[in-house]
Amino acid sequence: MKKVKTIKIDVDLCNGCRACEVACSAFHAEPKYSSTNPEKSNIRVLFDVKRNLYIPVMAGEYTDAECMGRDQYIIDGTEYDECTFCRASCPARDVFKDPDSGLPLKCDMCEEEPPLEEPLCVKWCITDALTYVEREEEEEEEEKLDDVEIGLEALANKHGMKKITDTLARLSMSKKGEYV
C-alpha cells in the first residue's frame, strides 16, 4: 500500500477570497515567501458572480494541444464551460502559465524540501473549502511504462512495429552523434 496525498475541494464552501492563491505564490517564490503574485500560483479560483461560480482548481499536467469538441456542462441549472474543471496548463487559455516566462505551472503538493505537513493552500483556506486527505492506495502490480515507451507504443499501434524500427534505424544512421 502507498499513501496518496489529495486535496478535497468543496465548492459550496468557497468564498472566493483567493487566499489559497496568495499562499501558494508566496511558498513558491524565490526566495521562499519573498513575494506574492496570484498569477504565479499553482491554484486558481475561477469565479463569476453572475453564475455563482466559485471553483478552485489546482494546476495539473501541461498539454501542448487543446481538447477537441469542448462543450458545456449544466449542473443545477448553471452552465459551465467544459474547461472550468480542467487542471491542464493548455494553449486554449491563459491560466497556469508563469506570467514572466510563459512556462507551465503545476501543483507540487508543496512537496519541495522541506515538505510541509499540509499543503499551504489548505492551511490558508480556513473556511475549509480545501481539505487535505491522505488516501491509502494499492500499489499497481503492472510495471509502469515510462513516457518514451508510451509514446512508442502509440506510434507502433498507428504505423506498425516494422515501420517504427526501420525509421529508428534510418534516423540513427543519418543523425549519428546528434542524439547522444
Partner 1 sequence: MRYAEQGFNLEIDLSRGNIEKVATDPRDTEAYLGGLGTNAKILWDRVPPEIEPFSPDNLLIFSAGLLVGTAAPSANRTIVSTISPQTNLMAFSMAGGFFAAELKHSGYDKVILRGKSPDWVYLWIHNGKVELRDASHLQGKGCYETAELIKQELKDPKAQVASIGLAGENRVYFASIEVEKSSCSRLGVGAIMGDKRIKAVAVRGTKDVNVAKPAEYFELCTTMLESMRHRLDNPLPGFDAMLATLGPQALSHSDDGFHIDNFAWGNARERKKGHWTKEYGEKWESDQLQSMERHISCYNCPVKCGGIIKHPTLGRFPMKCYSKLTYPMAAYADLDFGFRMIGIAQEHGVDGYTAPQVMAFAVELYEDGILTDEDMPGFPSDNEERHFWLMEKIVRREGIGEVLADGVYWAARRIGKGAEVYDHNTIKKNEQMFIKLGTLNPMYYLLYATGEKLTITQIEGGVPQAPLAPEDRKAYVKDWVQIPTGKEERFKQFVLEWGDEGKKAPFWPDTDLLNELVEWQEAMHYIDDATGVCAGVSSFMPKPPYHIHNYPLMLSAATGIDFDEDKLWKLAARNRNLVRAINIRRGLKKEDEHPPDDHWKKRFPEFEAELLDNYYKFKRWNDQGVPTREYLHELDLDYVGEDLEQRGFLKSVEEAEA
Is 24 near ligand SF4 (CB under 6 A)?
yes
Least distance to ligand SF4 from the beta carbon of 25, Å?
8
Buried residues in 134-154 as b, exposed as e (16+ CB within 10 A): eeeeeeeeeeeeeeeeeeeee
Least distance to partner 1 from the beta carbon of 16, Å?
5
**Residue with cell string 492563491:** 21
Is the alpha carbon torsion for 10, 107, 20, 119 positive or negative? positive
Q: How many residues bind ligand SF4 (CB under 6 A)?
A: 26
Residue 50 interacting entry, from ligand SF4, partner 1, none, C-beta within 5 to 8 Å by type: partner 1
Buried residues in 44-66 as b, exposed as e (16+ CB within 10 A): bbbeeeeeebbbbbbbbeeeeee
Tell me the per-residue interface mask from 124 to 153 with partner 1, x by CB under 8 A, - otherwise: xxxx--------------------------
Residue 38 interacting entry, from ligand SF4, partner 1, none, C-beta within 5 to 8 Å by type: partner 1
Distances (CA, A) of 52 to 56, 88, 91, 117: 13, 23, 26, 32
4-63 residues near partner 1, rule: CB under 8 A: 12, 15-19, 22-23, 26, 29, 31-40, 48-52, 54
91-110 residues near partner 1, rule: CB under 8 A: 99
Least distance to partner 1 from the beta carbon of 115, Å?
17
Stretch that binds ligand SF4, among 62-70, 80-88, 106-114, 168-176 (CB under 6 A): 106-114
Is 60 near ligand SF4 (CB under 6 A)?
no
Alpha-carbon distance of 100 to 37, in angstroms, equals 11
C-alpha cell, 30: 524565490
Least distance to ligand SF4 from the beta carbon of 124, Å?
6
3-state secondary structure of 164: helix
